[in-house]
Amino acid sequence: MHHKYVIRDRAAVWTGSTNWTHDSWTREENVIVSLESRELAARYTDDFEQLWAKRNVMRSGRVGTAPVTAEGRQVRAWFCPGRGEKLAHRIAKAIGSAQRRVRIASPVISSGPILGTLAQVASDGKVDLAGVVDLTQVREVIHQWQENKNAEWKEPLLRAALTRAPFSGKVSTPYYPGSIHDYMHAKLTVADDRVFVGSFNLSHSGEMNAENVLEIADAALADRLAAFVDEVRGRYPPVEL
């Protein structure tokens, strides 16, 4: 159960990547989105009620994805696991069809459709692609793939995506009981003037978690969040795997 959202008075939604912990506010990079919209709040209420009534993550997230209007913007709300596979393909399509820029902030990247598309875009070099990951977590994922031998095909795609385009990596503190949490924790994709932002890591497991993402078509917001990604990746060195 990976959501981080609030519905207020059935009229507003507060969501993003931020857990409600001290470390999230003081040690991590995160993104928060707040929107006033009764239509959008209704979508989030549907998801909450599914979780509350069924008490089963795998039976949640079956919420409509048709666009709604929120503060003058066209917005789609995506919920996992009900729409997890479709969301991964939606993000991959946006990345693959971008004409000018792609910016990525995600602790890990392991979703097959997204990895394949990122590797292709990075190798083609026709689009301004850049991003930031949590390097400690990426290395842990690669180690898991090598140990389990069930997703080794993903490793060359990940290496291509992160090394053929300017990706930076934060070396965070590995997780153990009682450790600080200082991860690069933002979950954000910008493709031209479209933004995907929420609780969803660009990961295969994220497709099966309880997650939410807002897809927002807004040029000014896309500029602002692309600049945020560039500011964060400027804090850390280039990825070395």
- Per-residue pLDDT at 238 exceeds 90: yes
Q: What residue segments make up the domains of the chain, in order of their start?
A: 6-233
Residue range 126-175, pLDDT digits in tens: 999 999 999 999 999 999 999 998 888 999 999 999 999 999 999 999 99
pLDDT given for residue 150 in this prediction: 85
How is residue 186 written in tokens?
């933002």
SS3 of residue 122 by DSSP: helix
Counting beta carbons within 10 angstroms of the beta carbon of residue 56, is it exposed (0 to 12), middle (13 to 18) or buried (19 or more)?
A: exposed
Q: Which residues of 117-145 are buried (b: 16+ CB within 10 A; e: fewer)?
A: bbbebbeeeebebbbbbbbbbbbebbeeb
Residue 131, CA distances (Å) to 5, 7, 26, 80 in order: 25, 30, 22, 24
Q: What is the pLDDT of residue 149?
A: 86
For the segment 212-231, what is each residue's pLDDT rounded down to a tens digit? 999 999 999 999 999 999 99
Q: Round to whole Å and give the CA distance between 43 and 219.
A: 24
Domain 6-233, CATH: 3.30.870.10
pLDDT at 170: 98
Q: How confident is the model at residue 117 (pLDDT cuts 50, 70, 90)?
A: very high
Question: Does residue 30 carry a pLDDT above 90?
Answer: yes
CA 136/CA 172 separation, integer angstroms: 6
* Arithmetic mean of pLDDT over the chain: 97
Helices (H) and strands (E) in the chain, counts: 7, 11
Q: Are 84 and 206 in contact (CB under 8 A)?
A: yes
Rounded (10°) CA dihedral 167, 132, 121, 98: -140
Contact yes or no for 5/17 (Cβ under 8 A):
no
Q: Is the pLDDT of residue 13 over 90?
A: yes
Task: Look at residue 174 in the predicted model and tell me its pLDDT.
Answer: 96
Banded model confidence at residue 12, pLDDT cuts 50, 70, 90: very high
Q: What's 15-30 look like in SS3?
A: EECCCCCHHHHHCCEC
Stretch 38-67: mean pLDDT: 96
- Whole-model pTM: value is 0.96
Residue 9's pLDDT is: 98
